[in-house]
Amino acid sequence: MSHLESLPPACTKLLHEKSRRKLTFAEIAAHLAHDEVWTAALFYGRATPTLKDIHRLASLLNLSAETLEEDFRMAGPPLREVPMQGTVDPIVAPVRDAIGLYAPAIRSVVVEKLGDGAISAPHAKVRVEAGDARDVRIIVESKYVPFQSW
């Protein structure tokens, strides 16, 4: 089964209209006043739209705002699992492998700089930038929460 087949109806509608209208996530994000990665996450069922977002999307994509609202309501909360284990996707797999390979080093450097704590996934923002000569930068920003003593 394709990952698209498991998406809620709201997401498949959004992806269909995005493709049909030849829009990029950056163009849609500008219309929503959101980041393009957050916007893509919304289209893949990984983020929660506000009513304002839904109405802006409906307007941009010529969809019924009421139907889109109902579709998102029926879908329930966004999927928050990380289904990366075993993926062979040529973009996701190297990112997963790099994080896995360098995780102990990343953790050690973060602890040296900020102390013992945790990086907050709910506060994470991810940006993708194209660099020079076909380089890509994936930037993850988040809050760092120190562990407390009691």
pLDDT in tens, 40-73: 989 988 889 999 999 999 999 999 999 999 999 9
pLDDT at position 118 is 92
State yes or no: pLDDT of 2 exceeds 60.
no
pLDDT at position 1 is 42
Whether the full predicted model's pTM is greater than 0.75, yes or no, is: no
Cβ burial 24-61 (10 Å sphere, 16+ → b, else e): ebeebbebbebbbbbbbbbbbbebebeeebbebbbebb
Dist. CA 47–CA 59, nearest whole Å: 19
